[in-house]
């Protein structure tokens, strides 16, 4: 049975394992587990994490933050990361996590949930469409990082 709940401190080791799996899945660099656990514990204020449990296993997570302003100057949520471990994919955990984030937005009186998705992942895009989400091709995703971030951040 799938259970969705807010992550607690005791989840940090299991979340670190899921983060490692996520980084391997996406081919990203991954710091040592201790650093991951410390980063989860010290994550920026306002970052929330929901976890999906399957029995005693932590099957996946959704990390999100509130955003403002949105349509009609109302707020929204930005779903930064949704990940379900390989052993639990296709079993409803991802759907349950997104549903829980949507329920959180509705409960708070927020007007939308936004997120990005990898354009080269057709199964993922189909999954989001099946949930009722619509791509927004009129928006362009930008990122400022690395040397460009450092350069701009140093300018007066």
CATH class label, 2-117:
alpha beta
Please report, to the nearest 10 degrees, the dihedral formed by the alpha carbons of residues 37, 39, 41, 47 taken in order. Answer: -130
Distance from C-alpha of 67 to C-alpha of 79, rounded to nearest angstrom: 10
| pLDDT above 70 as % of the chain | 100
Q: What is the H or E stretch that residue 53 is in?
A: strand 47-54
Query: Which pLDDT value is given to residue 72?
Result: 85
pLDDT tens digits, residue range 110-134? 999 999 999 999 999 999 999 999 9
pTM of the model: 0.93
pLDDT at position 156 is 81
**pLDDT below 50 — which residues of the chain?**
none
- For the chain, give every domain's residue range: 2-117
């Amino acid at each position: 049975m799938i259970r969705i709940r807010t992550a607690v401190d005791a989840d940090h080791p299991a979340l670190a394992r899921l983060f490692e799996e996520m980084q391997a899945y996406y081919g990203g660099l991954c710091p040592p587990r201790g650093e991951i656990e410390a980063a989860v514990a010290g994550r920026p204020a306002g970052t929330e994490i929901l976890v999906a449990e399957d029995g005693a296993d932590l099957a996946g997570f959704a990390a999100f933050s509130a955003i403002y302003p949105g349509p009609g100057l109302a707020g929204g949520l930005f779903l930064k990361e949704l990940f379900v471990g390989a052993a639990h994919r296709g079993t409803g955990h991802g759907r349950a996590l997104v549903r829980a984030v949507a329920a959180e937005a509705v409960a708070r009186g927020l007007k939308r949930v936004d997120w990005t998705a990898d354009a080269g992942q057709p199964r993922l895009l189909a999954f989001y469409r099946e949930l009722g989400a619509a791509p927004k091709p009129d928006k362009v995703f930008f990122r400022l990082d690395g040397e460009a971030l450092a350069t701009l951040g140093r300018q007066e």
